């Protein structure tokens, strides 16, 4: 969340008279270590991040678009744990991940 807030604040300070919208916010739930360390991903990490993000966004009246609805197995490399495949709040089989309990 600190990184998200820092980026939001930087854009807001550069454009103080504009509404800043976060258009892609999310957390990967799997990683093969390419680009994102595996110890920093998981369904509970995603749930925690999205809960904190949505609480902050509601408090500050910031419009946020969650990235993304479904995992996409065709993205990225052929490795099944490629992070690009695992950003959804639903798995590729359409079963829900714990973050859905947040009433996105």
From residue 1, alpha-carbon distances to 26, 27, 47, 91 in Å are: 11, 11, 12, 23
Buried b (16+ CB within 10 A) or exposed e, 41-77: bbbeebbebbeebbeebeeeebebebeeeebeeeebe
Q: What is the pLDDT along the chain (104 residues), one digit of tens a residue?
A: 999 999 999 999 999 999 999 999 999 999 999 899 999 999 999 999 999 999 999 999 999 999 999 999 999 999 999 999 999 999 999 999 999 887 65
């Amino acid at each position: 969340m600190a990184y998200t807030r820092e980026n939001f604040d930087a854009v807001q300070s550069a454009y103080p008279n504009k509404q800043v919208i976060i258009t892609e916010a999310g957390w990967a739930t799997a990683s093969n270590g390419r680009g994102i360390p595996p110890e920093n991903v998981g369904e509970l990490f995603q749930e925690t991040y999205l809960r904190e993000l949505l609480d902050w966004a509601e408090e500050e009246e910031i419009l946020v678009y969650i990235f993304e609805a479904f995992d996409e197995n065709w993205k990225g490399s052929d490795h099944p744990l490629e992070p690009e495949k695992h950003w959804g709040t639903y798995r590729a089989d359409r079963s829900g991940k714990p973050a859905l309990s947040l009433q996105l």
